[in-house]
Structure 1
């Protein structure tokens, strides 16, 4: 018995891309994310021996980068037992990765259900711009291996799940990457970390760390937070001129002062305070006064230094000794001595750890 001919099918194929099934909502009522599907609807017409086909047919669909020859893109989609009514059939095609960034052609193969070889229909069908509208140019998605790439399709390391490639050339000084933008000028764009479904830490750029009425939004601070923090304040704060930690944290110098410890006119040549205040505010300033009762200069750092370490030295060409003690929870009183035990005026340096 002579096999039926499907050559007339090629001239009658019609491609209809349906966006109704291209977008799916996952748990939107619970505030979940919206995901973009990769499947699209393909509708075609099949003639059998010059008449509209009816019955069950097996189909194979494959994508190519050329109308003839070329390279196949992705895997072949096989659909068996497709019901054809009066020559019309409709199928859902999902090739996994979206190849819509390039010129894409669809090849169709068909046979009657029940066995036999497939007939490849010609010509291949050029996919129109409709599926391109539902994709993201330059974005590579591999659902099976859970990898998303922008500008590249391979991992750098095996466990990478998201990667960006920005090829500006070896001598180009432009930055490559991405930005997180908020609508509000004082918004807090952040990058979060979670493991096992639990929040762990996040970083943000805080454009107004001092909680000012009219802040300089370009003079903010990078901040690091963790879920174990006892307050809502950051564990690390990087300002344009300092790197700060909370008062109770270890690792960084909290404050320092270069002081002229003089009984007549004590003064501060320069100083700094690198702490994250308990509430959004600028770090306190260091002040110095003279105490006649203590016969010493009193250096107030403006925050609780009761449980912190400190070190004090004399700035002199000849050996000198500096002795300090706590004057209050926020201050030290310090005296400068010669080696014979005589107190003297002069510059000293004090660091709080």
Structure 2
């Protein structure tokens, strides 16, 4: 990667939108078919300052607020959910480093993550266990003053390309988090291909066979990682997925407005048909509602208000379900064309289903939101 990849000015929605329209939208379908994002695009993301702009200036970032970060991830999600997924996991690792890393860890990895010279990935899910922290089988065993890591992680976004993994493992007394360089002896990367959606997010299985790590690999105090997963890192990942889901809804509305303004049936433009207008009006309404829910969660994060946890659950639930519904309608509006690779709505349809599963499935979200509602009713 280039030596210097930091933007001169802090990025925002407008800059992200311009970057997405020029560097992502025209090529996203081709990347989807190829199953990966080209290196020059990863470099372009770095040059635009989009990898970890929330990191403080002393670590190479811009100290960007969470509301603006959500807007950036929305714009990227509008262009390509796979690229947004790469931003998500990189953000999760970078935030965890900032929040729980030692000063030495932050200064060792922060500038590398901010500049994009090092790309991060998040290793929690395992075969047969998903993201259930209680069922983790990957082990971290004390080894001298460091650790020995053994196990297997699955569904690791950007696993094929990442340089640094944030790995959650069962320690001597509880779950712990470790920073693991890709080039550490004993680390193996096996690509996962031919998936339903986010096909260019470079998923992989990551194996750890007797990986020896120094004491500086431990992120946060031992025994603290489980709370970090539940209340911090996964919350930020959920926030990014919610933002990406808003982007999908907007992309569906844009694609349908464009298509129906050109396509005719019986000599009448599709856009003049009441049923088509109803579908588009629902997309416009839901994207505005989802965007407002996301902004509320972001503002609470910026204030350090713990209410952001539930606000993010609600935003992700609403946005992901709406994205799946409207992506289905977008395919319907496009008819047989919507089922082909010639129009992006087929990709939106497949990607939107993934949004209902990752970072908390729709079913888990309903249970969590309902539990909060009942909790508030207890005298």
- TM-score normalized by the length of structure 1: 0.19
Q: Give the structure, 1 or 2, with the largest relative contact order (CA under 8 Å, sep 6 or more).
A: 2
Q: Which has the larger radius of gyration?
A: 1
- The structure carrying a bigger helix percent of its residues is 2
